[in-house]
A and B are shown apart, each in its own frame.
Chain A
Amino acid sequence: MNTFRAALGRELLVLWRSPAEIINPLFFFVMVISLFPLAISPKPELLATVAPGVLWVAALLAVMLSLDGLFRRDQESGVLDMLLTAPVIPVVPVLAKLLAHWLLTGLPLVLISPLLGHMLQLPDGALGTVMLSLLLGTPALTIVGAIGAALTVGLNRGGILLAVLVLPLYIPVLIFGAGAVSAAAGGANVGGILAILGALLALTISLGPLAVSAGLKISSGN
Chain B
Amino acid sequence: MLGSPRYFYTFSSRVLPWLTPIALLTLAAGLVWGLAFAPADYQQGNSYRIIFIHVPASSGALMGYMALGVSGLVAVVWRMKMAEVMLKSIAPFGAALAAISLVTGALWGKPTWGTYWQWDARMTSMLILLFMYVGVIALQAVIRDPRQAARAAGLLAMVGVINVVIVKYSVEWVQTLHQGSTLKMFGESTIDPAMKYPLLLSMLGLWLLYAVNVLLRARTEVLWRERRSKWVSKRVKEGEH
**A→B interface (CB under 8 Å):** 144, 147-148, 151-152, 155, 157, 161, 164-165, 167-169, 171-172, 175-176, 179, 196, 200, 207, 211, 214-215, 218-219, 221
> What separation, in Å, do the CA atoms of A211 and B143 have in the docked complex?
18
> What separation, in Å, do the CA atoms of A200 and B152 have in the docked complex?
23
**Are B148 and A219 neighbours in the complex by a CB distance under 8 Å?**
yes
Main secondary structure of the interface of A (DSSP, over half): helix
10 interchain residue pairs of minimum CB distance: A168-B131, A172-B166, A165-B135, A172-B170, A218-B151, A175-B170, A168-B132, A151-B152, A218-B152, A169-B163
Closest to B137 in A: A164
Among B135, B142, B171, contact of A168 (Cβ-Cβ < 8 Å): B135
What's the nearest-Cβ distance from chain A to residue B150, in Å? 9
Closest to A207 in B: B162
**Are B155 and A171 neighbours in the complex by a CB distance under 8 Å?**
no
Verify if B173 is at the interface (C-beta below 8 Å from A).
Answer: yes
Residues of A within 8 A of B173 (CB): 175, 179
Closest to B168 in A: A172
**Are B138 and A151 neighbours in the complex by a CB distance under 8 Å?**
no
Residues of A within 8 A of B151 (CB): 218
Among A147, A161, A179, A200, contact of B155 (Cβ-Cβ < 8 Å): A147
Residues of A within 8 A of B174 (CB): 175
> What separation, in Å, do the CA atoms of A24 and B135 have in the docked complex?
27
14 example contacts (A-B, Cβ-Cβ < 8 A) are as follows A147-B155, A151-B139, A151-B156, A161-B139, A164-B134, A165-B156, A168-B131, A169-B159, A175-B170, A175-B174, A196-B170, A207-B162, A211-B158, A215-B152
- Near A by CB (< 8 A), chain B positions 123-173 give 128, 131-132, 134-135, 138-139, 142-143, 145, 148, 151-152, 155-156, 158-160, 162-163, 166-167, 170-171, 173
What's the nearest-Cβ distance from chain A to residue B174, in Å? 7
Residues of A within 8 A of B156 (CB): 147-148, 151, 165
> What separation, in Å, do the CA atoms of A218 and B174 have in the docked complex?
37
Verify if B76 is at the interface (C-beta below 8 Å from A).
Answer: yes
> What separation, in Å, do the CA atoms of A211 and B174 have in the docked complex?
29
> What separation, in Å, do the CA atoms of A164 and B156 have in the docked complex?
11
Residues of A within 8 A of B159 (CB): 144, 147, 169, 211
> What separation, in Å, do the CA atoms of A207 and B161 have in the docked complex?
14
Residues of B within 8 A of A211 (CB): 155, 158-159
> What separation, in Å, do the CA atoms of A165 and B160 have in the docked complex?
10
What's the nearest-Cβ distance from chain B to residue A149, in Å? 12
Say whether, besides A214-B155, A215-B155, A171 and B167 are in contact (CB < 8 Å): yes
Closest to A212 in B: B155
Closest to B158 in A: A211
Residues of A within 8 A of B139 (CB): 151-152, 161, 165
